[in-house]
Protein backbone atom coordinates (compact mmCIF):
# COMPACT_ATOMS: atom_id res chain seq x y z
CA UNK A 1 0.00 0.00 0.00
CA UNK A 2 1.37 3.34 -0.96
CA UNK A 3 0.59 6.62 0.62
CA UNK A 4 1.72 10.04 -0.64
CA UNK A 5 3.27 12.50 1.81
CA UNK A 6 1.27 15.35 3.24
CA UNK A 7 2.61 18.58 1.79
CA UNK A 8 2.49 21.83 3.72
CA UNK A 9 3.04 25.08 1.91
CA UNK A 10 2.62 28.56 3.52
CA UNK A 11 -0.60 29.13 5.44
CA UNK A 12 -2.69 26.65 3.48
CA UNK A 13 -2.71 23.08 4.75
CA UNK A 14 -4.10 20.20 2.73
CA UNK A 15 -3.93 16.61 3.93
CA UNK A 16 -3.34 14.32 1.00
CA UNK A 17 -3.12 10.55 1.22
CA UNK A 18 -2.84 8.12 -1.69
CA UNK A 19 -3.25 4.34 -1.29
CA UNK A 20 -2.80 1.62 -3.86
CA UNK A 21 -6.20 0.21 -4.81
CA UNK A 22 -8.04 2.22 -2.10
CA UNK A 23 -10.17 5.30 -2.90
CA UNK A 24 -10.18 8.22 -0.51
CA UNK A 25 -11.34 11.79 0.01
CA UNK A 26 -8.95 14.68 0.62
CA UNK A 27 -10.00 17.10 3.33
CA UNK A 28 -8.28 20.25 4.48
CA UNK A 29 -8.65 23.16 6.80
CA UNK A 30 -9.55 26.83 6.16
CA UNK A 31 -12.49 25.95 3.91
CA UNK A 32 -10.23 24.28 1.34
CA UNK A 33 -11.30 20.76 0.43
CA UNK A 34 -10.64 18.53 -2.56
CA UNK A 35 -11.51 15.03 -3.67
CA UNK A 36 -9.24 13.28 -6.17
CA UNK A 37 -10.24 10.19 -8.13
CA UNK A 38 -8.64 7.79 -8.69
CA UNK A 39 -5.92 8.01 -6.06
CA UNK A 40 -3.96 5.15 -7.63
CA UNK A 41 -3.46 4.11 -11.24
CA UNK A 42 -1.94 0.67 -11.86
CA UNK A 43 -1.44 -1.02 -15.20
CA UNK A 44 0.58 -3.72 -16.97
CA UNK A 45 2.36 -2.26 -20.01
CA UNK A 46 4.77 -3.16 -22.80
CA UNK A 47 7.89 -1.31 -23.99
CA UNK A 48 7.20 1.17 -26.86
CA UNK A 49 3.52 1.31 -25.88
CA UNK A 50 1.40 4.40 -25.22
CA UNK A 51 -1.52 4.61 -22.78
CA UNK A 52 -3.95 7.39 -21.88
CA UNK A 53 -5.46 8.01 -18.45
CA UNK A 54 -7.44 10.64 -16.59
CA UNK A 55 -7.86 12.04 -13.07
CA UNK A 56 -10.86 13.96 -11.78
CA UNK A 57 -10.56 16.58 -9.05
CA UNK A 58 -13.58 17.93 -7.20
CA UNK A 59 -13.43 21.27 -5.37
CA UNK A 60 -15.51 21.08 -2.21
CA UNK A 61 -14.24 24.39 -0.87
CA UNK A 62 -15.77 27.84 -1.12
CA UNK A 63 -13.33 29.39 -3.60
CA UNK A 64 -12.15 28.57 -7.09
CA UNK A 65 -8.59 27.32 -7.57
CA UNK A 66 -6.18 26.91 -10.47
CA UNK A 67 -4.15 23.69 -10.28
CA UNK A 68 -1.09 22.62 -12.27
CA UNK A 69 -0.04 18.99 -12.98
CA UNK A 70 3.44 17.82 -12.05
CA UNK A 71 4.95 14.32 -11.69
CA UNK A 72 7.73 13.21 -9.33
CA UNK A 73 9.59 9.92 -9.52
CA UNK A 74 9.50 7.62 -6.48
CA UNK A 75 12.88 6.19 -5.52
CA UNK A 76 11.66 3.69 -2.93
CA UNK A 77 9.14 3.09 -0.19
CA UNK A 78 10.40 3.65 3.35
CA UNK A 79 9.89 1.34 6.35
CA UNK A 80 6.96 3.54 7.44
CA UNK A 81 5.33 2.75 4.05
CA UNK A 82 5.71 6.32 2.80
CA UNK A 83 7.05 6.90 -0.74
CA UNK A 84 10.46 8.55 -0.97
CA UNK A 85 10.60 10.95 -3.91
CA UNK A 86 13.75 11.44 -5.96
CA UNK A 87 15.49 14.71 -5.09
CA UNK A 88 17.53 17.09 -7.24
CA UNK A 89 17.07 19.41 -10.17
CA UNK A 90 17.17 16.58 -12.74
CA UNK A 91 15.37 14.05 -10.56
CA UNK A 92 12.37 13.80 -12.88
CA UNK A 93 14.23 14.15 -16.19
CA UNK A 94 14.26 10.36 -16.62
CA UNK A 95 12.06 7.41 -15.68
CA UNK A 96 8.27 7.52 -15.36
CA UNK A 97 7.79 11.22 -14.56
CA UNK A 98 9.46 12.21 -17.83
CA UNK A 99 7.28 9.88 -19.91
CA UNK A 100 4.06 11.76 -19.09
CA UNK A 101 2.45 14.45 -21.26
CA UNK A 102 -0.64 16.43 -20.22
CA UNK A 103 -3.58 17.43 -22.36
CA UNK A 104 -4.28 20.33 -19.99
CA UNK A 105 -1.40 22.49 -18.74
CA UNK A 106 -3.62 23.71 -15.89
CA UNK A 107 -7.08 23.09 -14.41
CA UNK A 108 -9.42 25.89 -13.37
CA UNK A 109 -11.58 24.24 -10.72
CA UNK A 110 -14.51 26.42 -9.56
CA UNK A 111 -15.90 26.25 -6.03
CA UNK A 112 -18.33 23.34 -5.85
CA UNK A 113 -17.26 22.19 -9.30
CA UNK A 114 -14.81 19.72 -10.81
CA UNK A 115 -12.29 19.31 -13.60
CA UNK A 116 -10.55 16.39 -15.29
CA UNK A 117 -6.88 16.01 -16.13
CA UNK A 118 -6.11 13.89 -19.19
CA UNK A 119 -2.59 12.60 -19.63
CA UNK A 120 -0.66 10.13 -21.75
CA UNK A 121 2.26 7.90 -20.80
CA UNK A 122 4.60 6.90 -23.63
CA UNK A 123 6.86 4.06 -22.52
CA UNK A 124 10.28 3.90 -24.22
CA UNK A 125 11.52 0.82 -26.04
CA UNK A 126 14.39 0.36 -23.58
CA UNK A 127 12.26 0.69 -20.41
CA UNK A 128 13.55 -1.75 -17.81
CA UNK A 129 11.26 -4.65 -16.81
CA UNK A 130 9.49 -4.47 -13.47
CA UNK A 131 7.82 -1.71 -11.47
CA UNK A 132 7.94 1.99 -12.31
CA UNK A 133 6.59 4.40 -9.70
CA UNK A 134 5.77 8.11 -9.60
CA UNK A 135 3.48 10.54 -7.86
CA UNK A 136 1.22 12.67 -10.05
CA UNK A 137 0.28 15.88 -8.25
CA UNK A 138 -2.06 18.78 -8.84
CA UNK A 139 -0.37 21.77 -7.28
CA UNK A 140 -1.42 25.35 -6.66
CA UNK A 141 2.11 26.49 -7.48
CA UNK A 142 2.96 26.76 -11.19
CA UNK A 143 5.71 24.21 -11.98
CA UNK A 144 7.93 26.82 -13.71
CA UNK A 145 8.22 28.93 -10.52
CA UNK A 146 11.23 28.44 -8.29
CA UNK A 147 10.82 26.68 -4.97
CA UNK A 148 9.52 29.06 -2.31
CA UNK A 149 8.39 31.77 -4.75
CA UNK A 150 4.67 31.08 -4.22
CA UNK A 151 2.31 29.79 -1.58
CA UNK A 152 0.53 26.59 -2.53
CA UNK A 153 -0.37 23.00 -1.81
CA UNK A 154 -0.28 19.65 -3.57
CA UNK A 155 -2.82 16.87 -3.87
CA UNK A 156 -1.80 13.74 -5.67
CA UNK A 157 -2.14 10.13 -6.73
CA UNK A 158 0.28 7.23 -7.15
CA UNK A 159 1.18 5.78 -10.56
CA UNK A 160 2.44 2.20 -10.75
CA UNK A 161 3.19 0.54 -14.06
CA UNK A 162 4.39 -3.04 -14.38
CA UNK A 163 6.69 -3.25 -17.41
CA UNK A 164 6.74 -6.58 -19.23
CA UNK A 165 10.02 -8.41 -19.77
CA UNK A 166 12.41 -10.26 -17.49
CA UNK A 167 10.42 -9.75 -14.31
CA UNK A 168 12.12 -10.98 -11.13
CA UNK A 169 9.99 -11.75 -8.09
CA UNK A 170 11.86 -12.72 -4.94
CA UNK A 171 10.59 -11.81 -1.49
CA UNK A 172 12.45 -13.11 1.57
CA UNK A 173 11.77 -13.18 5.29
CA UNK A 174 14.31 -10.92 6.95
CA UNK A 175 13.15 -11.06 10.58
CA UNK A 176 10.30 -12.32 12.75
CA UNK A 177 10.57 -11.58 16.45
CA UNK A 178 8.92 -10.17 19.53
CA UNK A 179 10.09 -7.04 21.33
CA UNK A 180 10.77 -9.11 24.49
CA UNK A 181 11.60 -12.69 25.36
CA UNK A 182 9.67 -12.70 28.64
CA UNK A 183 6.54 -10.64 29.30
CA UNK A 184 5.25 -9.73 32.74
CA UNK A 185 1.83 -9.04 31.19
CA UNK A 186 0.14 -10.37 28.02
CA UNK A 187 0.95 -7.45 25.71
CA UNK A 188 3.04 -8.89 22.88
CA UNK A 189 4.33 -6.96 19.86
CA UNK A 190 5.43 -8.97 16.82
CA UNK A 191 7.70 -7.45 14.16
CA UNK A 192 7.75 -8.93 10.67
CA UNK A 193 10.35 -7.75 8.17
CA UNK A 194 10.31 -8.91 4.57
CA UNK A 195 12.89 -8.00 1.91
CA UNK A 196 12.06 -7.56 -1.76
CA UNK A 197 14.98 -8.79 -3.87
CA UNK A 198 13.02 -8.56 -7.12
CA UNK A 199 12.36 -5.76 -9.62
CA UNK A 200 8.62 -5.45 -9.07
CA UNK A 201 6.43 -4.49 -6.14
CA UNK A 202 5.81 -7.10 -3.46
CA UNK A 203 2.61 -7.15 -1.42
CA UNK A 204 2.97 -9.76 1.37
CA UNK A 205 -0.02 -10.61 3.51
CA UNK A 206 -0.65 -13.48 5.90
CA UNK A 207 -1.21 -14.77 9.41
CA UNK A 208 0.61 -15.25 12.68
CA UNK A 209 -0.55 -18.45 14.41
CA UNK A 210 0.17 -18.63 18.16
CA UNK A 211 0.22 -21.93 20.07
CA UNK A 212 0.65 -22.53 23.80
CA UNK A 213 2.98 -24.96 25.60
CA UNK A 214 0.52 -27.81 25.00
CA UNK A 215 0.47 -27.28 21.24
CA UNK A 216 -3.01 -25.73 21.20
CA UNK A 217 -3.57 -22.80 18.83
CA UNK A 218 -4.76 -19.85 20.87
CA UNK A 219 -4.84 -17.03 18.30
CA UNK A 220 -4.44 -16.11 14.62
CA UNK A 221 -3.41 -12.54 13.78
CA UNK A 222 -3.52 -10.78 10.40
CA UNK A 223 -0.27 -9.39 8.99
CA UNK A 224 -0.36 -6.35 6.67
CA UNK A 225 -4.14 -6.21 6.55
CA UNK A 226 -3.98 -2.88 4.66
CA UNK A 227 -1.79 -4.43 1.93
CA UNK A 228 1.21 -2.10 2.13
CA UNK A 229 3.71 -2.88 -0.63
CA UNK A 230 7.49 -3.24 -0.65
CA UNK A 231 9.36 -1.57 -3.48
CA UNK A 232 12.17 -3.38 -5.34
CA UNK A 233 15.44 -3.81 -3.42
CA UNK A 234 13.98 -2.54 -0.16
CA UNK A 235 12.53 -3.85 3.10
CA UNK A 236 9.02 -3.70 4.50
CA UNK A 237 8.29 -3.73 8.21
CA UNK A 238 4.96 -4.76 9.74
CA UNK A 239 4.00 -4.70 13.43
CA UNK A 240 1.22 -6.83 14.92
CA UNK A 241 -0.01 -6.60 18.51
CA UNK A 242 -1.45 -9.42 20.60
CA UNK A 243 -3.35 -8.57 23.78
CA UNK A 244 -5.19 -11.73 24.82
CA UNK A 245 -8.08 -11.54 27.25
CA UNK A 246 -8.19 -13.59 30.41
CA UNK A 247 -5.40 -15.41 32.18
CA UNK A 248 -2.44 -16.60 30.07
CA UNK A 249 0.86 -18.00 31.29
CA UNK A 250 3.72 -20.12 30.01
CA UNK A 251 5.73 -20.66 26.86
CA UNK A 252 4.24 -19.74 23.47
CA UNK A 253 5.34 -20.34 19.89
CA UNK A 254 4.37 -18.14 16.95
CA UNK A 255 4.55 -19.03 13.26
CA UNK A 256 4.17 -16.37 10.56
CA UNK A 257 3.26 -17.32 7.00
CA UNK A 258 3.13 -14.65 4.28
CA UNK A 259 1.67 -15.08 0.81
CA UNK A 260 2.93 -12.84 -2.03
CA UNK A 261 0.84 -12.65 -5.24
CA UNK A 262 2.98 -13.04 -8.37
CA UNK A 263 2.63 -11.30 -11.72
CA UNK A 264 1.80 -14.57 -13.50
CA UNK A 265 -1.10 -15.24 -11.13
CA UNK A 266 0.65 -17.65 -8.77
CA UNK A 267 1.76 -17.11 -5.17
CA UNK A 268 5.00 -17.21 -3.22
CA UNK A 269 4.90 -18.27 0.45
CA UNK A 270 7.51 -17.45 3.10
CA UNK A 271 7.42 -18.30 6.81
CA UNK A 272 9.35 -18.07 10.08
CA UNK A 273 9.04 -19.11 13.76
CA UNK A 274 9.69 -17.37 17.08
CA UNK A 275 8.84 -18.05 20.74
CA UNK A 276 8.34 -16.14 23.96
CA UNK A 277 7.20 -16.46 27.58
CA UNK A 278 4.36 -14.84 29.47
CA UNK A 279 5.01 -14.89 33.22
CA UNK A 280 2.60 -12.48 34.95
CA UNK A 281 4.55 -11.41 38.03
CA UNK A 282 1.43 -10.04 39.73
CA UNK A 283 0.35 -13.70 40.01
CA UNK A 284 3.66 -15.55 40.14
CA UNK A 285 5.05 -13.19 42.80
CA UNK A 286 2.35 -13.85 45.43
CA UNK A 287 2.36 -17.60 44.69
CA UNK A 288 6.13 -17.90 45.08
CA UNK A 289 6.00 -15.69 48.17
CA UNK A 290 3.30 -17.88 49.66
CA UNK A 291 5.31 -21.06 48.98
CA UNK A 292 8.41 -19.50 50.51
CA UNK A 293 6.46 -18.46 53.62
CA UNK A 294 4.90 -21.93 53.92
CA UNK A 295 8.29 -23.68 53.72
CA UNK A 296 9.82 -21.22 56.16
CA UNK A 297 7.04 -21.78 58.69
CA UNK A 298 7.30 -25.54 58.17
CA UNK A 299 11.05 -25.38 58.77
CA UNK A 300 10.59 -23.43 62.03
CA UNK A 301 7.92 -25.87 63.26
CA UNK A 302 10.20 -28.84 62.48
CA UNK A 303 13.05 -27.22 64.39
CA UNK A 304 10.81 -26.59 67.40
CA UNK A 305 9.53 -30.16 67.29
CA UNK A 306 13.05 -31.59 67.13
CA UNK A 307 14.22 -29.50 70.08
CA UNK A 308 11.31 -30.69 72.20
CA UNK A 309 12.09 -34.30 71.32
CA UNK A 310 15.75 -33.82 72.19
CA UNK A 311 14.85 -32.44 75.60
CA UNK A 312 13.32 -35.82 76.61
CA UNK A 313 15.89 -38.13 75.06
CA UNK A 314 19.08 -39.31 76.83
CA UNK A 315 21.98 -41.65 76.10
CA UNK A 316 22.39 -43.38 72.78
CA UNK A 317 18.77 -42.89 71.82
CA UNK A 318 19.28 -39.17 72.17
CA UNK A 319 22.26 -39.35 69.82
CA UNK A 320 20.13 -41.17 67.25
CA UNK A 321 17.45 -38.53 67.59
CA UNK A 322 20.03 -35.83 67.03
CA UNK A 323 21.16 -37.53 63.85
CA UNK A 324 17.53 -37.77 62.65
CA UNK A 325 16.88 -34.15 63.48
CA UNK A 326 19.96 -33.10 61.63
CA UNK A 327 18.73 -35.07 58.59
CA UNK A 328 15.36 -33.31 58.68
CA UNK A 329 17.05 -29.94 59.07
CA UNK A 330 19.22 -30.54 56.02
CA UNK A 331 16.18 -31.51 53.93
CA UNK A 332 14.36 -28.34 54.90
CA UNK A 333 17.45 -26.27 54.16
CA UNK A 334 17.76 -27.83 50.69
CA UNK A 335 14.09 -27.13 49.93
CA UNK A 336 14.41 -23.52 51.00
CA UNK A 337 17.63 -23.14 48.98
CA UNK A 338 15.99 -24.51 45.85
CA UNK A 339 12.97 -22.25 46.24
CA UNK A 340 15.21 -19.26 46.79
CA UNK A 341 17.22 -20.11 43.65
CA UNK A 342 14.01 -20.37 41.60
CA UNK A 343 12.81 -17.00 42.87
CA UNK A 344 16.14 -15.33 42.12
CA UNK A 345 16.25 -16.93 38.65
CA UNK A 346 12.72 -15.73 37.79
CA UNK A 347 13.49 -12.21 38.99
CA UNK A 348 16.70 -12.07 36.94
CA UNK A 349 14.91 -13.30 33.79
CA UNK A 350 12.03 -10.88 34.29
CA UNK A 351 14.14 -7.80 34.91
CA UNK A 352 16.73 -8.65 32.24
CA UNK A 353 14.42 -9.69 29.41
CA UNK A 354 11.18 -8.05 30.46
Task: Report d(CA 324, CA 335) in Å as an integer.
Answer: 17
- Give which of 306, 328, 327, 310 is closest to 319, Cα–Cα: 310
Task: Verify that 92 and 60 share a domain, yes or no.
Answer: yes
| CA 282 remoteness from chain centre | 30
Task: Verify that 307 and 296 share a domain, yes or no.
Answer: yes
| End residue of a domain, out of 251, 278, 305 | 278
DSSP H helical ranges for 18-135: none
Task: Verify that 237 and 108 share a domain, yes or no.
Answer: no
Confidence band (pLDDT; 50, 70, 90) for 245?
Answer: confident
Q: Flag whether 156 is in a domain.
A: yes
How far lies 83's CA from each of 41, 51, 77, 91, 286, in Å?
A: 15, 24, 4, 15, 51
Element (H, E) at 109: strand 107-109
Task: Verify that 58 and 206 share a domain, yes or no.
Answer: no
Question: Do 260 and 168 meet the contact criterion of CB atoms below 8 Å apart?
Answer: no
Task: Verify that 239 and 132 share a domain, yes or no.
Answer: no
- What local confidence, expressed as pLDDT, does residue 178 receive? 96
Instruction: Look at 282 and 338; give whichever has higher pLDDT.
Output: 338
Confidence band (pLDDT; 50, 70, 90) for 246?
Answer: confident
Predicted TM-score (pTM) of this structure: 0.67
Least confident of 135-139, 175-179, 348-352: 348-352
Q: Flag whether 75 is in a domain.
A: yes
Task: Verify that 152 and 225 share a domain, yes or no.
Answer: no
Least confident of 49-53, 168-172, 333-337: 333-337
Task: Report d(CA 77, CA 82) in Å as an integer.
Answer: 6
| End residue of a domain, out of 163, 188, 220 | 163
Q: Flag whether 71 is in a domain.
A: yes
pLDDT of residue 148 exceeding 50, the answer is no
Task: Report d(CA 268, CA 172) in Å as an integer.
Answer: 10
Least confident of 46-50, 196-200, 349-353: 349-353
Task: Report d(CA 46, CA 301) in Å as an integer.
Answer: 89
- What local confidence, expressed as pLDDT, does residue 30 receive? 53
Task: Verify that 127 and 213 share a domain, yes or no.
Answer: no
How far lies 276's CA from each of 181, 187, 190, 261, in Å?
A: 5, 12, 11, 30
Number of domains making up the chain: 3
Identify the top-confidence range among 88-97, 128-137, 310-319, 344-353. Answer: 128-137
CATH number at residue 200: 2.60.40.10
> Which residues lie below 8 Å from residue 101, measured CB to CB, with a gap of 6+?
119, 120, 122
Task: Verify that 76 and 133 share a domain, yes or no.
Answer: yes
Task: Verify that 130 and 251 share a domain, yes or no.
Answer: no
Question: Do 136 and 100 meet the contact criterion of CB atoms below 8 Å apart?
Answer: yes
| Strand 83-85 with 65-77, pairing | antiparallel
Task: Verify that 46 and 123 share a domain, yes or no.
Answer: yes
How far lies 121's CA from each of 60, 62, 94, 99, 199, in Å?
A: 29, 33, 13, 5, 20
| End residue of a domain, out of 278, 294, 309 | 278
Task: Report d(CA 45, CA 161) in Å as an integer.
Answer: 7
Task: Verify that 73 and 214 share a domain, yes or no.
Answer: no
Q: Flag whether 224 is in a domain.
A: yes
- What local confidence, expressed as pLDDT, does residue 349 receive? 56
Helices 315-353, 281-311: axis angle to 10 degrees equals 170
Least confident of 79-83, 222-226, 236-240, 323-327: 323-327
Phi, psi angles (nearest 5°) of residue 302? -65, -45
- What local confidence, expressed as pLDDT, does residue 92 receive? 75
Confidence band (pLDDT; 50, 70, 90) for 20?
Answer: very low
Identify the top-confidence range among 23-32, 54-63, 74-83, 114-123. Answer: 114-123
- What local confidence, expressed as pLDDT, does residue 8 receive? 28
Task: Report d(CA 153, CA 29) in Å as an integer.
Answer: 12
Confidence band (pLDDT; 50, 70, 90) for 322?
Answer: very low
Reported as a single tens digit per residue, the pLDDT across 261-296 is 998 888 999 999 999 999 886 666 666 666 667 677
- Give which of 133, 139, 140, 105 is closest to 119, Cα–Cα: 105
Instruction: Look at 40 and 26; give whichever has higher pLDDT.
Output: 40
Reported as a single tens digit per residue, the pLDDT across 62-107 is 889 999 999 999 988 888 888 899 887 667 777 899 999 999 999 9
Q: Return the percentage of the chain with pLDDT > 90, whole number.
A: 51
| Strand 83-85 with 100-102, pairing | unpaired
Task: Report d(CA 231, CA 36) in Å as an integer.
Answer: 24
Task: Report d(CA 202, CA 185) in Å as an integer.
Answer: 35
> Which residues lie below 8 Å from residue 320, measured CB to CB, with a gap of 6+?
none
Q: Flag whether 2 is in a domain.
A: no
pLDDT of residue 217 exceeding 80, the answer is yes
Q: Flag whether 1 is in a domain.
A: no
Full domain range(s) for residue 240: 171-278
pLDDT of residue 239 exceeding 70, the answer is yes
Task: Report d(CA 238, CA 193) in Å as an integer.
Answer: 6
Task: Report d(CA 39, CA 61) in Å as an integer.
Answer: 19
Task: Verify that 118 and 223 share a domain, yes or no.
Answer: no
- What local confidence, expressed as pLDDT, does residue 144 receive? 63
What is the rounded average pLDDT of the residues 254-264? 94
Average pLDDT taken over every residue of the chain: 80
Q: Flag whether 317 is in a domain.
A: yes
Instruction: Look at 65 and 142; give whichever has higher pLDDT.
Output: 65
Beta bridge partners of 205: 259
DSSP H helical ranges for the chain: 281-311, 315-353
Confidence band (pLDDT; 50, 70, 90) for 312?
Answer: low
Q: Flag whether 248 is in a domain.
A: yes
Amino acid sequence: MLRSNTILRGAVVVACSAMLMTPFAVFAQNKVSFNLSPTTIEDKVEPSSEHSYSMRVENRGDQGTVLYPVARNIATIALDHQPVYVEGADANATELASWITYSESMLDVPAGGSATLHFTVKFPADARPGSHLAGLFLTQKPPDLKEGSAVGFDIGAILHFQMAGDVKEDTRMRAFLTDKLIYGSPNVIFTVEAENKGNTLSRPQGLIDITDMFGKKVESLLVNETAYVISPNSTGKYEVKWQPEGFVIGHFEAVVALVIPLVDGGNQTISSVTSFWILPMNIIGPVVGGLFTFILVLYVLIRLYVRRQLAGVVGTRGGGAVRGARGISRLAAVAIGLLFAIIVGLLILFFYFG
